[in-house]
Structure 1
Amino acid sequence: MIKLEQINKYYSLEEETLHVLKDVNFEIKEKEFVAVMGPSGSGKSTLINLIGFIDKKFEGKYLFEEKEITDFSDKELSAIRNKSVGFVFQNFSLIENNTVFENIELPLLYNGSAYTDTKARVQEVLTKVGLADKASKYPKQLSGGQQQRVAIARSIVNSPRFIIADEPTGALDSKTSEDIMQLFQDLNRQEGVTIILVTHNPEMVSYCDRLIRVKDGVIVEEELVK
C-alpha cells in the first residue's frame, strides 16, 4: 500500500542544510501493524509527515496504492489525506468546546457528509472503542485514556486506509497504555485497519507485527516482531 524508494529530505536553516532522511526505502502492506522506533531527532516525525501526505517536498519516490503522490496537486493531496489517513496524537488533539460526538463527527463533515447522516456512524465507532455512553460529554469530563479512545474513534470514523499513531500512549499511565494498545491491536486484527505506530517505548512494539528502527535519518533495522 505504501512504498518509499530512495527518499531524501533536507531542511535549510539560514546557511546550513540539514539532511534529515537519508536514502529511506521500505514498504508497508495493507493490514500490517508497523512500529517506527527511534530516539528524539532520529527523523521519525519527518518520516511520518511524509507518509501522512503532510509534506511532499522530498527527493525520491513515494507510491501510495501504486500512485506517485508528487503527481497530485496540494488540493488533491489534501483530499487524499482526509479520506485515507487517520491521525492519533500523544496529546489527543480534541476540541475542548465540542462534545465527544462533535469531535468525532468533524472528519465526516469535512468529507462532505450531511449532519443528518452522521449520527449512526459516530455512535458505531463510539461503541467500537467502548464509549457508547459518552457522546454528550466534553473532553475535560473524561480521563486521559477515554480522551485517547475518542481520538481513535475520530481517526477511524472515515474508514481510512491507514492510521498514524504518534506516541499515542506517551501521556498515559502503564495500565491505560496497555488498554489503548490492545484497542489498536483489535482494530488491526479484527477490522483489518493498517496502523503505523510511532514510539520510543520498546514495550509498545510487542503489539506490532514489524519494527522499523530509525537513527540519524537512516533505516538501521527492520525486523518481524512475531
Structure 2
Amino acid sequence: MISLVNVNKYYKNDEESLHVLKNINLAIAPGEMIAIMGPSGSGKSTLINLLGFIDKQFEGQYLFEGKALLTSSDEILSKIRNQTVGFVFQNFSLIENNTVFENVELPLLYNGYKFHQTEEKVMAVLKKVGLADKADKHLKQLSGGQQQRVAIARALINQPKFLIADEPTGALDSHTSEEIMKLFVDLNTQDQVTIILVTHNPDMVPYCSRLISIRDGEIIEDKALRQ
C-alpha cells in the first residue's frame, strides 16, 4: 500500500542544512499494525507528516497504491488526505463546544455530506468504539479515555485506508492506555484497519505486529512481532 524509496528530508536555513530523514526505505502492506518507535528528535514526527501527505518537500519517492500522489496540487492532496488517512493525536484535538456526534460528523461534512446523510454513519462508528450512548454528550462530560475513543471514531468516519496514531495514549493512565490499545488491536484484527502507531513507550509495542525503530533520522530496526 505504502512504499518509500530512498527518502531524504532536509530542513534548511540561511546558515545550515539539517538532514532529518536519511535514506528511508519502507513498505507497509494493508492490514498491518506498525509501531514506529524512537527518542525525541529521531525523526518520527517528520516521517509521519510525510506518510500522512502533510509534508511533500523531500527527496526520493513516495508511492501510495502504486501512485506518486505527492505531485498533486495542494487542493487535490488535501482531498486525498481527508479520504485516505485518519489521524489520532495525543491531545485528542476535538472541538470542545461540539457534542460527541458533531465531532465525529465533521470530516463527513468536509467530504461533502449533508447533515441529513450523516446519522447512520456516525452512530455506526460510535458503536464500534463503544460510545453509541454518548452521542449527545459534550467533551467535559467524558473521561480522557472516552475522549480518545471519540477521536478514534472521528478518524475512522471516512473509512480511511490507514490510521496514523501519534502518541495516542500519551495523556492517559496505564489502565486507560491498555483499553485504547486493545481497541486499536480489535480494529486491526477484526476490521483490517491499517494502523501506524508512533510511540516512545515500549509498553505499547507488543500490541503491534511490526516494530520500526528510528534514530537520528535512520531506520535502525524493522522486525515482525506477531502474525
Q: How does 1:82-97 map to 2 (within 5 A)?
A: 82-97=82-97
Q: How does 1:1-226 map to 2 (within 5 A)?
A: 1-226=1-226
Kindly report structure 1 stretches of 4+ aligned residues shifted beyond 2 Å. none
* Whole-Å separation in 2 of the counterparts to 1:163 and 1:174: 22
* Whole-Å separation in 2 of the counterparts to 1:93 and 1:141: 16
TM-superposition CA deviations, 1:27-84 (whole Å, max 9, x none): 0000100010000000000000000000000000000010012321111111110000
SS in 1 for 2:140: helix
| TM, length-normalised to structure 2 | 0.98
How far 1:113 sits from its partner (Å)?
0.7
Please report the RMSD computed on the Cα atoms of aligned residues, expressed in angstroms: 0.6
How far 1:108 sits from its partner (Å)?
0.4
TM-superposition CA deviations, 1:76-106 (whole Å, max 9, x none): 1111100000000000000001111000000
* Whole-Å separation in 1 of the counterparts to 2:17 and 2:38: 22
TM-superposition CA deviations, 1:108-140 (whole Å, max 9, x none): 000001110100110111111001111111111
Give structure 1 stretches of 5+ with no counterpart. Answer: none
Aligned length: 226
* Whole-Å separation in 2 of the counterparts to 1:70 and 1:90: 26
The amino acid that maps onto 1:213 is S
* Whole-Å separation in 1 of the counterparts to 2:139 and 2:74: 32
TM-superposition CA deviations, 1:2-46 (whole Å, max 9, x none): 000000000013311110000000100001000100000000000
* Whole-Å separation in 2 of the counterparts to 1:100 and 1:25: 39
TM-superposition CA deviations, 1:178-213 (whole Å, max 9, x none): 000000000000011000000011110101100000
Residues 53 and 70 in structure 2, CA contact (< 8 A), matched pair in contact too = no
The amino acid that maps onto 1:125 is V
SS in 2 for 1:214: strand
SS in 2 for 1:107: helix
Residues 2 and 28 in structure 2, CA contact (< 8 A), matched pair in contact too = yes
Give structure 2 stretches of 5+ with no counterpart. Answer: none
